[in-house]
Chain A
Amino acid sequence: GEDVEQSLFLSVREGDSSVINCTYTDSSSTYLYWYKQEPGAGLQLLTYIFSNMDMKQDQRLTVLLNKKDKHLSLRIADTQTGDSAIYFCAESVQTGANNLFFGTGTRLTVIP
């Protein structure tokens, strides 16, 4: 079955860049997603990338995909205290799949 792994914790200083990493096992992944969960809230879709892309940039967010190594990363430039949250990587293994397979989540703490 699908296995999506992330490191559990990351701490960065305000103003620095954050890089959150994710590895997955299913080579048939079609889309990969990053969701953000703030305390007491649901999941907010941050960005997503199609598997035939290497990179996607959206303002402070940069997603890099290494399909050969099945490695996905999310870089947050100029990290702010409001970026403190849990970040989930998720994959879907076919277009329009009824299911997302989520990673364990990385808790990002931004130190003022």
Chain B
Amino acid sequence: SAVISQKPSRDICQRGTSLTIQCQVDSQVTMMFWYRQQPGQSLTLIATANQGSEATYESGFVIDKFPISRPNLTFSTLTVSNMSPEDSSIYLCSTRQGNQPQHFGDGTRLSIL
């Protein structure tokens, strides 16, 4: 399976600022996804990152708050904009190649003060 690297692994940010999380895959993959895991909760899909076009967002998530880029088949970024304490979560990148299962990165642990 692909090796997925996320940066940063963790960060502590001030409210009102923005943070961009990077996801790098060691091979080309068809699909890339971004999930949020709030403290003590399960995973919720934020959006599907589409290569060369706008991401597809799930209900409750909007582009202004979570802009996503995917310039090629091995890289994507998620920005968490204008952060508030409610955005404190783990943000996970995942990939899927064809009909294979999704694989996940180690996540970015984000705390907002």
Q: Which chain A residues have a beta carbon within 8 Å of chain B's beta carbons?
A: 31, 33, 35, 40-45, 48, 88, 95-96, 98-100, 102-105
A99 touches B106 (CB 8 A): no
Return chain A residues, CB-CB under 8 Å to B33. 98-99
Within 8 Å of chain A (Cβ to Cβ): is B53? Answer: no
Residue among A31, A42, A104 making CB contact with B101, cutoff 8 Å: A31
If A31-B101, A48-B101 touch, whether A102 touches B43 (CB-CB below 8 Å) is yes
Residue among B42, B56, B99, B105 making CB contact with A42, cutoff 8 Å: B105
CA distance A40 to B106 in the complex (A): 8
Return chain A residues, CB-CB under 8 Å to B79. none
CA distance A99 to B107 in the complex (A): 18
A102 touches B99 (CB 8 A): no
CA distance A48 to B1 in the complex (A): 14
If A43-B104, A45-B101, A48-B101 touch, whether A105 touches B48 (CB-CB below 8 Å) is no
Contact pattern, B 80-113, Cβ under 8 Å of A = 1, otherwise 0: 0000000000001010101101111111010000
**In the A-B complex, the 3 residue pairs with the closest CB atoms:** A42-B106, A43-B104, A42-B104
Which B residues from 26 to 73 make CB contacts under 8 A with A?
Answer: 31, 33, 41-43, 45, 48, 56, 58
Interface residues of chain B: helix, strand, loop or mixed (majority): strand
Q: Which chain B residues have a beta carbon within 8 Å of chain A's beta carbons?
A: 1, 4, 6, 31, 33, 41-43, 45, 48, 56, 58, 92, 94, 96, 98-99, 101-107, 109
If A43-B92, A105-B42 touch, whether A100 touches B102 (CB-CB below 8 Å) is yes
CA distance A96 to B33 in the complex (A): 13
Return chain B residues, CB-CB under 8 Å to A103. 42
Return chain A residues, CB-CB under 8 Å to B105. 42
CA distance A31 to B58 in the complex (A): 21
